[in-house]
Each structure stands twice: as C-alpha cells, then as structure tokens.
C-alpha cells in the first residue's frame, strides 16, 4: 500500500454525515413558508415572546410548537435547504459534505485531536447532512434525563407523522443483516424504532424516491402568524440585564444579517411587567457553548484572556465534550451492490453498534483524485485499480458506545463565524478502545459470514481489507511510520478513528443547565440541543433531538399557561 503514497489525501469531513436524520415536502420542493425570510429584511429592533437561536434538529420542532401560542423568532445562521439538490438526493450525499465553501451547509472543522469533522450551517441542521437513520433513545437515557415517558412517545409520534419512512432493504443490506445474525447479534427485531439488543431495521428520513426530508418539514406544524424565521442571521451575543431582577436574566440578542448589518431582538414585556419569555439556545454541541462563552458565561480566566466581560464564572461551560468514535472496513464486491445509506443496526452487548452503507461515491467519500503526470506508471496503475474497486463496494462501520473519554471546548477568538477549538480525546480511556476492538471483531465476522459471501472476493482476506481501508481512511493525527500496514485491532482503531458526527456535551444537564434545560445562575435562558447530553442517545441522536424540541415546547407552553395536556 505504500505505493499509493502520492495519492493519499487527508480524509475530508465526509464522515460527518453518518449520524450523526411522510410528508408532503422534501428538500427540493419548498413549501409556502410565509414566515421564512432573509435576515436583511428584519427591522433594526423587534420584540418577541421567545427567541430561539439555531434552526437545527431541535430548534425547528421547538419553534413550531411554541408558535402555536406565542410570537416566536427563530434565528438561523445558514440558509434554506429547499432547492439544494445535494441535500435532497441520497445519491449526492457526499457532495454536500465535500462542499467547504464559505456558504456551504456543511462547515468543516478539525478537532485538536486531528480528526476532520463537520458542523451543519443550514436550516434543519444535521437532518440536512446525515445518513438518514431514525431510531429512538435507549430507555436508560430517557430515565436518566427525567423525561415523562408518555410525552416522549407522543413527541416522537409527532415527528414521525411528517418525515419518517420504512426503508426497503435490498440484497447488500440484507446480507449485512443476515451476517450480523449469523455472528450472534441476536435476536432479529425486524422494523422498529425501539432501542433493543439485537439486529433491527430502523426508520429513515429518505422517502421511496430517495429524497431527504428534514426537520424544516416540521415547520408545517407552525402557526404562520406566530413565527418568524430569519435566514443568514448570526447571533453575536446574548444580552442580559439585572435592573429590578433578583438575578441576572437574558432579555435580548444581537445578530447580524448576511450583509453585515446589526439587528437586535428583545423579549416582549407584558402590561408593564417583566417578560415571561425566554432566550433558547439550540445552536448545537459546538455553537451553544460557543455562544454562552461569547456572551460572558464560562470559565472566567478563559473569558478574560479574550477580553470578554465575565457575566457568570461558570467553569463547566465547554466541558464534557465527547464524540463517538467510528471505525470501518471497506469491502469491494464481485456482485452488484445497491446504493444505500444506513438502514439497520446491530445493537450489541459489547459496547458497540454496527451499521452499514453501500456504493456511495467512494472516490469522493475518501477524497481520492485521479492520476497526474507526476506519478509513475506503477502508482498510476495501482491507484486506478483501487479506485475501480471502490465503484462497487460497501462499508461496514462500528460506533463506540459512550464514549467514556471526554474533552473540552474553548474559544479560538471572538468571531462567532469561526469554529471554536474542541478536543474530544478519542480512546483516551482503555474502555473505549476495547469497545472499538469488540466492534471490529464483529465486522470481521460479518465479512467472513456465509450470508455475506456473495459480496466479497474470496481472495480478499480481512487483513487485506483492513490494510486497504487503513490506507484510504486518514485523519491528521501523528502516525507511526508503518501506519499503512495492519498491526493490531487496537492500533487500527487509533490510526483510523473518524467521526460519526454524534458529538455532544459542552452545556450538560446538571453542570450547565438544570433538568428543565434552564441555564444555572441566570434567568430567562435555556439550552435545548445535543450540547446538554451526557451521552449520545441510542444508536443515532436525530430522532431524540427532534423529540426533545417538541417535548420542551409542550413543557414550556404548559408551564407558562398553566396547562397540563400533552398535545
């Protein structure tokens, strides 16, 4: 594999699309959302009952729910997904993530660990970029979060009526499923959203025409007269006041539109009284802690070093950052392979989940290029051979549960458009590394299974596939000199770790927010998104994030209006 040296490129942020997501509208057909407009059309100052920062996976359902009873402003730093064919179509899944332009819906970032990643910059958030898998949280997650199970289930159903479909497994995906069963990932659980041990088919947000549906579709539930959605609206900081308050409380935001003009939005007062409304941050696991820090809530020493006035010395903001490690095996096939993203999962008892996808554009996926005049005939031939093999191949992946290893987030500067610095500390704890090894052994068993035999070349040993994959899959961590040659599963996990885009933490429950997601130490401010998670829920978080947006919308409404109903 060293002969491919001139061809080796750093893995781009394509892996971000793994998640880390029935209705009348998909991303290529824009609904008549009269409440959605460019932020350049916003007045210099406006007042609302609730201001939601971030129109992502949690922000959209939250806004739709609150708009039924209140005047809601939803601020999104990106644009609309509608009309973007790369977002819409399953077959162009990789194109969205390879677009690293300043206006791309996928903003690339590299963690301090040297792993390339992506954060969404589009209305609908990660549901516009991911591999589409839909499955509920594990029961333990719901219990630890102290959520009302009846309202949780109703909230899931509210989402599913609009944008979730049953995938149709074809031959390659069926072979992976049967291989999982053959190696003992039992029982077979059929089609279900439930998180239960064994092998199951989950839901998908891709419809029968392979068109993506996103969290933006949930805005069809909104009251058009109660909601304003502003696109390309970047919030620079949250405004606070203390006059007449027992403690400091949020009361507005400063944001800039796409032309750089500054706007302010404030919480409405009611008949001369202090506002009962709230600022709700739903900017994601990077954006939410970043915005709290920019607004003066965080470790005092860090804030002072950047010239930010300390509003609240809160050392836990930005702490507990975690990204579920992903490792893979690529398997070229002698038999025709369908195009598919994640449709099923093996939920093991060994600390790992097994998923698969097939015949996507692997050349783009791995950032490979075609030969140049600078390469030798030998490397040209070898590179063309491997590129040719990738045209009909599948990929089986393992996601490490947890993880136990965590890190932290800090500001790089005071510019909200720039990525913060984030360290995930992949495999710092031995327990995570062992889980990865367990998962890779299961994948080896699937590849060697009778059920999968038609989809692998018999002379391709697992070690040969590991060597090929190790060559293809690159992060930018420091490497051993012989890192292209398989040595052990432990070293393989370390050398080929990439993201599955299920990163979380930074504003965790019990540390930065309470169990109602209110920011500790200040009033009228909540954080509702994946930054509050201690662990990533279930095998894929998007269903739970959308559920949480709906769930907390109902909770906030009932708390304010004195209601007790769940719909």
CA distance linking residue 84 with residue 353, whole number of Å: 31
CA gap 221, 43 in Å, rounded: 26
Annotated catalytic residue within 20, 263, 502, 504:
502
Instruction: Let me know: does 302 contact 137? Beta carbons within 8 Å.
Output: no
- Between the alpha carbon of residue 85 and those of residues 79, 82, 92, the distances in Å are 14, 8, 8
In what helix (H) or strand (E) does residue 189 lie, and over which residues does it extend? strand 188-191
User: Rounded to 5 degrees, what angle do the CA atoms 262, 265, 267 make?
Assistant: 165
Two structure tokens written together for 515: 């169990």
Strands 249-256 and 262-267: antiparallel
Angle at 136 between CA 130 and CA 141, to 5 degrees: 110
Residue identified by tokens 């919480």 is 267
Host H or E run for residue 396 = strand 393-400
- What residues have CB less than 8 Å from 210, skipping those under 6 apart? 89, 90, 91, 339
- 502 classed as catalytic: yes
Please check whether residue 196 is in contact with residue 187, taking contact to mean a CB–CB distance below 8 angstroms.
no
In terms of Cα–Cα distance, which of 360, 361, 326, 355 is closest to 340? 360
Query: Distances in Å between the alpha carbon of 50 and those of 111, 159, 294, 408?
Result: 33, 22, 20, 29
DSSP code, position 122: B
CB 34 within 8 A of CB 220: no
Q: Mind telling me the catalytic residues?
A: 502
């Amino acid at each position: 594999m060293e002969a491919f040296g001139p061809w080796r490129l750093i893995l781009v942020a394509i892996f971000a699309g793994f998640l880390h997501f029935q209705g009348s509208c998909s991303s290529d057909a824009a609904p008549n959302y009269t409440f959605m407009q460019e932020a350049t059309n916003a007045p210099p100052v406006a007042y609302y009952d609730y201001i939601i920062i971030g129109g992502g996976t949690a922000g959209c359902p939250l806004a739709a729910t609150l708009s039924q009873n209140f005047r809601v402003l939803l601020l999104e730093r990106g644009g609309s997904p509608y009309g973007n064919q790369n977002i819409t179509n399953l077959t162009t899944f990789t194109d969205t993530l390879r677009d690293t332009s300043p206006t791309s819906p996928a903003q690339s970032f590299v963690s301090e660990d040297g792993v390339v990643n992506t954060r969404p910059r589009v209305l609908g958030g990660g549901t516009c970029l991911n591999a589409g898998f839909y499955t509920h949280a594990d029961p333990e997650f719901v219990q630890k979060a102290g959520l009302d199970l009846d309202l949780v289930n109703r909230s899931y159903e509210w989402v599913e009526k609009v944008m979730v479909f049953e995938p149709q497994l074809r031959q390659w995906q069926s072979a992976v499923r049967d291989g999982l069963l053959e190696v003992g990932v039992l029982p077979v659980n059929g089609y279900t959203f439930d998180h239960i041990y064994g092998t199951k088919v989950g839901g998908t947000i891709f419809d029968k025409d392979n068109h993506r549906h996103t969290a933006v579709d949930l805005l069809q539930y909104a009251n058009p007269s109660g909601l304003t959605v502003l696109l390309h609206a970047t919030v620079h900081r949250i405004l606070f006041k203390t006059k007449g308050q027992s403690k400091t409380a949020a009361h507005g935001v400063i944001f800039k539109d796409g032309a750089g003009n500054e706007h302010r939005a404030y919480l409405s007062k009611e008949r001369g009284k202090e506002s009962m409304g709230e600022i709700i941050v739903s900017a994601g696991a990077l954006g939410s802690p970043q915005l709290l820090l920019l607004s003066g809530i965080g470790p005092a020493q860090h804030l002072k070093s950047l010239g930010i006035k300390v509003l609240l010395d809160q050392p836990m903001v930005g702490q507990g950052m975690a990204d579920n490690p992903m490792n893979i095996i690529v398997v070229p096939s002698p038999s025709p392979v369908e195009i598919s993203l994640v449709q099923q999962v093996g939920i093991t008892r060994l600390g790992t989940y097994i998923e698969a996808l097939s015949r996507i554009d692997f050349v783009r996926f791995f950032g490979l290029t075609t030969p140049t005049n600078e390469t030798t005939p030998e490397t040209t031939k070898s590179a063309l051979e491997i590129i040719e093999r990738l045209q009909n191949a599948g990929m089986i992946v393992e996601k490490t549960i947890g993880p136990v290893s965590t890190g932290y987030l800090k500001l790089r500067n005071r510019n909200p458009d720039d990525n913060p610095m984030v360290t995930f500390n992949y495999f710092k704890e031995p327990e995570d590394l062992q889980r990865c090894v367990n998962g890779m052994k299961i994948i080896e068993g699937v590849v060697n299974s009778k059920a999968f035999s038609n989809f692998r070349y018999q002379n391709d040993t697992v070690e040969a596939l590991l060597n090929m994959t190790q060559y293809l899959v690159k992060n930018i961590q420091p490497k051993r000199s012989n890192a292209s040659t398989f040595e052990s599963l432990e070293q393989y996990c370390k050398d080929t770790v990439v993201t599955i885009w299920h990163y979380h933490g930074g504003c965790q429950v019990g540390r930065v927010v309470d169990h109602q997601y209110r920011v500790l130490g200040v009033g009228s401010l909540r954080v509702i998104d994946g930054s509050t998670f201690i662990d990533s829920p279930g095998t894929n978080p998007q269903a739970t994030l959308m559920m949480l947006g709906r769930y907390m919308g109902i909770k906030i409404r009932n708390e304010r209006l004195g209601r007790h109903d769940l719909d």
